[in-house]
Chain A
């Protein structure tokens, strides 16, 4: 893709939308960069909150026996940890990237619907305030796992289910509005000459992610509504005595839940596909195959949901159908991994921190993908189901996958955002500490799971003690490593070596044609793309 931007931000004065100062700037803002920043900081704070809950879990599991807390509180920790990391950390972080980067990448002046953009962000902190407030209620926080299977969440729930339901409703509204904004921005606001097949890959992946969001977040809203009426208004959607079926809960939930996991990984693919070519100084090996692979993964995500339910009970045909469809996903994912490796092949590579995180992503995400393939096989899944093997699997794809790509993207675009270079030494320390601790944290979980340790249990048999101790040490080390990240970012915002408009010599895209830090308004007149 050759992009030649006619950049004329100087011929415009900021005739409207002067930056307000203080808190009002952030509360009232309609600027995509401000809102992107808000999303990213919110996601980071939620990462620390969710991480603190995870450390509570790992502290309890450091030794066998009940050490620190009641089992019920342990369940609350696992539940809220999952909800916060999924809806509060990973998803808002990617939306933050989308807000910051998509208008700049496609040469648009802002998001298409800027006021709605503000609204989609600002309802999020309120939603999480409601969710977290349930820790301080008599009933305690939700304790039924982030998947909130009925009847655990209906008949046998503690008293805070209504707060959980309405918090999830608000998170869903936020995601849907954010997704609509992204879709409209991409469809309607591309600079002249920016055809669909010239869009940067991050834009493509988030475009497809946004479609997944508007297709499945309403289904989540539907299922939590049924849960609400079952719990509070006497319906029996998930109660066999009234003609309903608890298994139906799982079908509807996972119809949302499986596309949801791709919502959390497709933007990661986009970020990594942007960074690897930049530091391999080669074009992405196969741009269009990446686009088609992303679309195929998105399509397949709608017809694989019941692979989460192999042990729940399903007709044999269903088990086979969902097994084969799930294994099919390995094909487009393989296309992607092949593309990344082929891009690096014989490139003149350099190993700046964004590239280090991206390479770690490729390797570790592939490990998570392979364990996913193992879980996809119905007969084998009967043994793995609800063990630590599953925990290892989804943490490899979500932490060393999604979260690592978020780190990679942050380090890649941080000079553009702040106008300063960050500390190379400190950021590399963050990378190596994270890499080593995260593997210490999650790799032994595979063995624990294969040996039969169940998930979501605060106690375990003695033979699991050694591995659990190592896992806990890795967990605390990984958590503390993120404070290095915080230090890097704060130092970078405060100052440092000035960044050039294009600090990475292999980088491509419109965002590098504007100065660093990016002006408050960019591309008020669209650039021309050849």
Chain B
């Protein structure tokens, strides 16, 4: 296309999507802040509506923004270098997500290794145990907190094990889909990608069942059930949100595959969705080990 040593890097013209996105984030933040404040004060307000408006605006922005990018990409405006920018951008975004989960894993490990044993009098904290909560025994899962909230630990067999198998399998099928795309076997690509989406949805369904099980009266495992319930629901909950997002990304990819998008050389969006999927899979393996088994 060009005789120069370097291809020209595509710098997009002005775009109104970022400012739409900024307003959307503003509405989400203001809405969510008002909403949780009203819940706490047991008042009713308009926060929820602002929040919903913000989310709707963000979805609208994503459609518009991605539409621009897809059109630019399909019309061949992007060089190899641009593709690299997108790939590197996505990998560092995933790294930042890893660090977000690291904060919660850090909280889990800190609570298990330090906070709970110290409350039970470990280390030089014998007096903490005797003076504050003499009845308290340190254990994990923490089924009885110092202030006496009781709950039940979630075992690793059953639903969590099924979920592990579902998600690990889906990572393999996502890889097969990628291989099929690179070998230009469109039929196989549709099959494996469709299967990946189905496995993702099955995972989410099982996760829902597990939560219903936890909130049922036999287990009494709530978000508010002390540090065990906190870390359990926050970690699996954020993971579940990421699986939801990943599934939506894969569904969009599936639609694009049916529309005939992507070539063996040019399929950044597919690659990004697939990386993201592998990432939520790895997080789940960590969860399965540290939240469920150990």
Please report A residues at the B interface, Cβ cutoff 8 Å: 16-17, 20, 24-25, 27-30, 108-110, 112-116, 118-119, 122-123, 126-127, 129-130, 159, 162-163, 165-167, 169-170, 173, 176, 179-181, 183-184, 187-189, 192, 214-219, 221-223, 225-226, 228-229, 231-237, 240-245, 247-248, 251-252, 255, 315, 521, 524-526
Known A24-B14, A315-B123: A216·B224 in contact at CB below 8 Å: no
> Is B206 an interface residue when CB atoms closer than 8 A count as contact?
no
Docked complex Cα distance between A123 and B58 (Å):
13
Name B residues whose Cβ lies closer than 8 Å to a Cβ of A.
Answer: 4-6, 8-9, 11-19, 21-23, 25-26, 28-30, 32-34, 36-37, 39-41, 65, 81, 84-86, 88-89, 92-93, 95-100, 102-104, 106-107, 110-111, 114-116, 118-119, 123-124, 132, 142, 145-147, 149, 223-224, 226-230, 234
Name 18 interchain pairs, CB-CB below 8 A, sorted by A: A24-B14, A109-B9, A115-B17, A115-B18, A126-B22, A126-B23, A162-B36, A166-B30, A170-B29, A180-B93, A219-B99, A221-B100, A228-B36, A229-B234, A235-B223, A243-B119, A247-B115, A525-B8
CB distance from B238 to the nearest CB of A (A): 8
Q: Which residues of A contact B33 (CB under 8 A)?
A: 130, 162-163, 165-166
A269 to B40, CA, bound (A): 46
Q: When A126-B22, A176-B96, A229-B234 are in contact, do A241 and B145 touch as well, CB less than 8 Å?
A: yes
User: A218 near B100 (CB under 8 angstroms)?
Assistant: yes
User: Are A248 and B26 within 8 A (Cβ)?
Assistant: no
Q: Determine which of A27, A180, A235 lies in contact with B224 in the assembled complex, contact meaning CB atoms within 8 Å.
A: A235
Contact A214 B100 (CB under 8 A): no
Inter-subunit contact B25/A173 (CB<8 Å): yes
B102 to nearest A CB, angstroms? Answer: 7
Which residues of A lie under 8 Å from residue B8 when comparing CB positions? 109, 524-525
**Which of B37, B81, B84, B224 lies at the interface centre, i.e. has the most chain A CB atoms within 10 A of its CB?**
B37
Q: Are A229 and B230 in contact (CB under 8 A)?
A: yes
Rounded to whole Å, the gap between the CB of A411 and the closest CB of chain B is 29
Given A30-B15, A126-B22, A126-B26: A244 and B227 interface contact (C-beta under 8 Å) = yes
- Answer whether A236 and B230 are a contact pair too, CB < 8 Å, given A187-B88, A245-B111: yes
Chain B residues within 8 Å of A30, by CB: 11-15
Q: Is the interface of A mostly helix, strand, loop or mixed?
A: helix
New contact pairs (8) apart from A109-B9, A215-B96, CB-CB < 8 Å? A24-B14, A126-B26, A130-B26, A162-B36, A180-B89, A219-B106, A237-B111, A252-B107
B17's nearest neighbour on chain A, judged by CB, is A115
The one of A169, A180, A192 that contacts B6, using a Cβ cutoff of 8 Å: A192
A-B complex: 8 closest residue pairs judged by Cβ atoms: A222-B103, A243-B227, A28-B14, A245-B115, A119-B18, A166-B29, A218-B100, A234-B224
Q: Which residues of A contact B4 (CB under 8 A)?
A: 525
Report A-chain residues with C-beta under 8 Å of the C-beta of B12: 17, 30, 114-115
Chain A residues lying within 8 Å of B39, measured Cβ to Cβ, are 232
**Cα distance A469–B102 in the bound complex, in angstroms:** 46
A119–B116 CA distance with the chains assembled, in angstroms: 42
Tell whether, in the assembled complex, residue A218 and residue B99 are in contact, meaning their CB atoms are under 8 Å apart. Answer: yes
Chain A residue contacts of B13, Cβ below 8 A? 16-17, 30
Query: Is the pair A188, B223 in contact by a Cβ cutoff of 8 Å?
Result: no
| A236 close to B227 (CB less than 8 A) | yes
Q: B147 touches which one: A187, A226, A241 (CB < 8 A)? A: A241
Which of B8, B11, B16, B41 neighbours the largest number of chain A CB atoms within 10 Å of its CB?
B11
User: Are B41 and A108 touching (Cβ within 8 A)?
Assistant: no
Chain A residues lying within 8 Å of B81, measured Cβ to Cβ, are 188-189
Instruction: Tell me the complex Cα distance, A242–B146, Å.
Output: 6
**Pair A214/B95 contact, Cβ less than 8 Å:** yes
Which A residues are in CB contact (< 8 Å) with B16? 27-28
Minimum C-beta distance from A123 to chain B (A): 5
Enumerate chain A residues within 8 angstroms of B9, measured Cβ to Cβ: 108-110, 189, 524
Question: Separation in Å of the A97 CB from the closest CB of chain B?
Answer: 20
CB distance from A384 to the nearest CB of B (A): 24
Taking CB atoms, residues of chain A closer than 8 Å to B132 are: 240
Once bound together, how far apart are the Cα atoms of A252 and B103, in whole Å?
7
Which residues on the B side are within 8 Å of A179 (C-beta)? 92
Assembled-state Cα–Cα distance A374/B11 (Å): 49
- Contact between B96 and A162, CB atoms less than 8 A apart: no
Cβ-defined contact, A119 with B230, below 8 A: no
Complex interface: chain A residues within 8 A of B114 (CB): 245, 248
Establish whether residues B227 and A184, one from each chain, have CB atoms under 8 Å apart when the complex forms. no
Complex CA–CA separation, A115 to B107 (angstroms)? 35
